[in-house]
Structure 1
Amino acid sequence: MKPRVGQTLTSTVDATTVIVVRCPDDELDITCGGAAMVDPRGPEAGTSGTADPAQQGGALLGKRYAADEFGLELLCTKAGPGTLAVNGVPLPIKGAKPLPASD
């Protein structure tokens, strides 16, 4: 799939939903719980698949998940038990930017 900024993606194995915040112009395989994420208004939408038991780390509401090597950033808008991954690599939670010193 070729994601685009602002696109909503939903899991086919649990309730996880994300919004694409930043993405490259490349084809990426974005998964949740081991199954591909899809457009919630598309024909594939719905929790019809089965999750990979090894990919049940969970996605947290309001957290940003980023992979700088892929240039991808996702914002979780609905939490679920599946692990978010891109091209088979689990996405870590993006750390907060440090604030400048106020000396």
Structure 2
Amino acid sequence: MALKTGTRLRSQVDDTEVIVVKPPVGDGGLLCGGHPMVEVTQDPAAGLVPEPGAGTQIGKRYTSSADNQLEVLVTKAGTADLRLGEITLTRKEAKPLPASD
């Protein structure tokens, strides 16, 4: 599935839901807990077991490391990690505001 800005996805193995903020270059598949994510209107497959991970936090943005190819916003937190192919997504830190004098 080609990811586009605004696409809403859900995990098949936990409660994680995301919105794509910045789509990746190419057709990389977004995984959660080691399984492909599906659109929120689709039902998850039965019997899937998540890979262990640190999970996601609601309201946080996750990106595919320094290249910033993909950026997603978590709208519902879960217990599994997000991956783009073999790259684990990391939480994007907020940029510090400039000091005001």
Q: TM-score, normalised by structure 1?
A: 0.87
Runs of 4+ in 1 over 3 A off after TM superposition: none
Q: Please state whether the residue corresponding to 1:95 is helix, strand or coil.
A: coil
Provide the aligned length of Structure 1 versus Structure 2: 99
Quote the Cα distance in structure 2 between the aligned partners of 1:66 and 1:39: 19
The answer (yes or no) to whether the contact 2:38–2:44 under 8 Å persists in 1 is: no
Partner residue, 1:15: 15
Structure-2 separation of matches of 1:32 and 1:11 = 6
Structure 1, unpaired ranges of 5+: none
| TM-score, normalised by the number of residues in structure 2 | 0.89
Q: Percent identity?
A: 41
Give the equivalent residue in structure 2 for 1:50: 49
What is the root-mean-square deviation of aligned Cα atoms in Å? 1.5
- Alignment partner, residue 66 of structure 1: 63
C-alpha separation between the residues in 1 aligned to 2:87 and 2:78?
18
Other structure's SS at 2:90 match: coil
Alignment-mate amino acid for residue 46 of structure 1: P
- Structure 1's 34 and 8: CA in aligned 2 closer, same or farther, altered over 3 A? same
Cα shift at 1:41: 1.3
The 3-state SS of whatever aligns with 2:99 is coil
> Matches of 2:80 and 2:54 in 1, distance apart?
6
Partner of 1:77: 75
